[in-house]
Amino acid sequence: MNKKYFPIIILLFLKATALLATEPAVTYKFYGFVRNDFYYNSRQNVEALDGLFNIFQKPIELNSFGEDKNGQMNAEMLSISTRLGVDLTSAPIGKAQLSAKIECDFAGVATNYYLIRLRQAYIKFNWPQTELLVGQTWHPMFETCSPTIPSLNTGTPFQPFNRSPQLRLKQDLGKNFTLTLAAIYQMQYASQGPNGASATYMKNAGLPNLFASINREMGDFMVGVGVDAKTIKLNHQLNSSVSGVLFGQYSNTKLQVKAKAIYGQNMSDHLMMGGYGVCGTDSTYHEATYTNFNTVSSWLNVVYGDKLKGGLFCGIARNLGTNKKLVADPITGFTAYGYGFYAASQELLNTLYRISPHVTYTINNINLGLEYELSAGEYGTIQAEK
């Protein structure tokens, strides 16, 4: 896309919104912000958005001079997380209140930062005790409870990070209990596989990612538990995985305490460590069969203050391995697929820790933030049968 078309896209976006707003029963509200980020890394990391979205550090990799190729520092300043959105409300349909959201940023694709990137786009129906959402928004495993930190990564890879198209139902069960059910498909955040990260694996399986949770609010407290299941298809082979999440938070005018624990299988579509490995060969098609890596992750986030806020984020994640012995893929020669695996060295991220103190200061409409991430990771070599 040529940069000269960018102003035209903005004008079309505003024109489309204005046309919607001309309907007598439709109202709209623009929102957004300009954001500038500067980061410094002491070494090379697995990352997105040109390093703005840090995930975890790469392993030690020696070159011919005995130097660690990933030991190079880097720094950058970017404004691509600047955001623009519009909230729409319309006349009720029966007893249902109707609303919609369109939200984008300028992260683009790869290094094409002048491209608008879709973040959220959904329609929502609200009855007195029921909410139905249709469209793209945050995956429920992220939305139920997420850290409050300055960094754009929002606690990744200890915290699931995923926005996807979905059909989601929230039902008020009474006594402050809420049930959430969702059927989710992949788009921008996709499972890893032989062809890299792709939504095709879930698309070919024909089954959506299914999620269910129940939570209870008790004044300033909220606790909940959820389960997530998905199936992907690789050639003729189906690989199913199940993950569970437990979360809770306390929040008042000055103090926030949040925590989440996840037992996960094949969570690469959430930018979390792990995935699945090759455990054998199918006798009919002579293709690889798969077994999931089991991972556990937890984090704690405490924030205190009003205009001046101080906080601390602590996270730990560990790869618990697979339930079956691993072998090499008969076609590709790979042993595993997912985040934290390096085929050339057969190294896999085993354990990851992070301690991240941060401070923010708000004055009028200006928000300043400073965060220090101290992360440590341990890599191990996959033990696979020949």
* Residue 370: partners with Cβ closer than 8 Å, 6 or more residues away: 150, 358, 359, 360
Residues of the chain with CATH 2.40.160: 129-385
CA 335 to CA 341: how far, in whole Å?
Answer: 9
Q: What pTM did the predictor assign?
A: 0.88
Quick one: which of 261, 262, 224, 259 has its CA closest to 242? Answer: 262
pLDDT for res 286: 87
pLDDT for res 385: 58
* Residue 36: partners with Cβ closer than 8 Å, 6 or more residues away: 77, 78, 79
- CATH class belonging to 129-385: mainly beta
Query: Which ranges of the chain have pLDDT less than 70?
Result: 1-24, 109-114, 383-386
Tell the residue number behind the tokens 């730990």, with chain if given.
Answer: 316
CA 75 to CA 96: how far, in whole Å?
Answer: 49
Tell the residue number behind the tokens 């707003």, with chain if given.
Answer: 21
